[in-house]
Amino acid sequence: MRATVGFSDNPDTIAAGEQAALAAIGGEAHKPDLVLLFSTARHDPAILQKSVASVIGAAVPIYGGIAIGAISAERFGYSGDQLVLAAIWLEGASYEAIVEHMCDGGEGAAGARIGKRLKELGAGEPNSSILLFYDTFRQEEGKPVKMFMAMPLLAGIEAELGFLPELAGAGLMGDLMDSPSALWTGSQVEEHVAVALYFSGVQMDIVIMHGCRPSTDYYTVTKADSQTILEINHEPALAFMQKVLGSVIAPEAYPFFLILGVNQGEKWGEFDEESYASRLCLAIDTERSGIVMFEPDMVEGTEFQIMHRSMELDYMPPRMQQLFDALGERKPALALYINCAGRAGYGNIEDALVVQQAVQGKVPLVGIYSGVEIAPVKGRSRGLDWTGVFCLFSS
In this prediction, residue 258 has a pLDDT band, given cuts at 50, 70 and 90, of: very high
What is d(CA 43, CA 19) in angstroms, rounded to the nearest whole number? 14
Task: Residue count of the chain, please give it.
Answer: 395
Element (H, E) at 143: none
Query: pLDDT by residue (tens digit) across 138-178?
Result: 766 666 678 899 999 999 999 999 999 999 999 998 876 66
Mean predicted confidence (pLDDT) in 335-358: 88
d(C-alpha 55, C-alpha 31), whole Å: 10
How many angstroms separate the CA atoms of 285 and 218, rounded? 23
Residue pLDDT, tens place only, 99-147: 999 999 999 999 999 999 999 998 877 778 999 999 998 766 666 678 8
Reported as type and span, the H/E element at residue 7 is strand 2-8
Helix axes 13-25 and 45-56, enclosed angle (nearest 10): 40
Q: Look at residue 180 and tell me whether its pLDDT is greater than 80.
A: no
At the top level of CATH, the class of 212-309 is mainly beta
Neighbours of 286 (CB within 10 A): 10
Beta bridge partners of 218: none
* pLDDT for residue 310: 74
Phi, psi torsion values for 158, nearest 5 degrees:
-65, -40
DSSP E strands: which ranges in 12-103?
34-39, 62-66, 69-72, 76-78, 83-89, 94-101
Q: Taking the domains of the chain in order of start, what are their residue ranges?
A: 1-210+310-395, 212-309
R_g of the chain, CA atoms, integer Å: 20
Please state, in angstroms and as integers, the Cα–Cα distance from residue 261 to each residue in 76, 237, 304, 376, following that order. Answer: 28, 16, 5, 15
Distance of CA 34 to the CA centre of its chain: 20
Q: Each residue of 220-253: pLDDT tens digit?
A: 999 999 999 999 999 999 999 999 998 888 999 9
Residue/partner pairs of 236-239 with CB below 8 Å, 24 or more apart: 236/288, 236/289, 236/290, 237/289, 237/290, 237/291, 238/284, 238/285, 238/286, 238/289, 238/290, 238/291, 239/289
* Predicted model pTM: 0.93
